[in-house]
Amino acid sequence: SRSFKSGKMKVDPSNPDVFPSRPDGTDLIGDNSNSWVGVTVLQKIFVKEHNYVAQKIADENPDLSDDEIFGYSRNIISALIAKIHTVDWTCELLKTEQLRVGME
């Protein structure tokens, strides 16, 4: 969820390492319906990275609007996630004997 301030995502103002939460204790942002701790950790890492990138962009480009900063940050984080998925993770996933046999 967006904060609409400096292109950043919402975090708990009293503890920026924690997502803001609803009265029932569930996180306000992220996947609450069918999640597990690994997904939650990744969400928190990428929200923190988004906010870091947004701050760097805002510092270097003070004339950009909140929407512009958010959009640039989102594109950078999306590219990072795509790189991790296609270059790092998928290549390791495909290093199997079954794939080698199937490709020969």
How many CB atoms neighbour CB 29 within 10 A?
Answer: 16
pLDDT in tens, the chain (104 residues): 789 999 999 888 787 777 777 788 777 776 666 677 788 788 889 999 999 999 999 999 999 999 999 999 999 999 999 998 888 887 777 788 877 777 67
Q: What is the pLDDT of residue 34?
A: 63
What SS3 state is found at 35? coil
CA torsion through residues 14, 35, 29, 7, sign: positive
Q: Are 30 and 37 in contact (CB under 8 A)?
A: no
Q: What is the pLDDT of residue 19?
A: 78
Q: What is the pLDDT of residue 12?
A: 81
- What 79-82 contacts at long range (C-beta under 8 Å, 24+ apart), as own/partner pairs, is 80/46, 80/49, 81/46
Q: What is the pLDDT of residue 41?
A: 82
Would the pTM of this model clear 0.85, i.e. be above it?
no
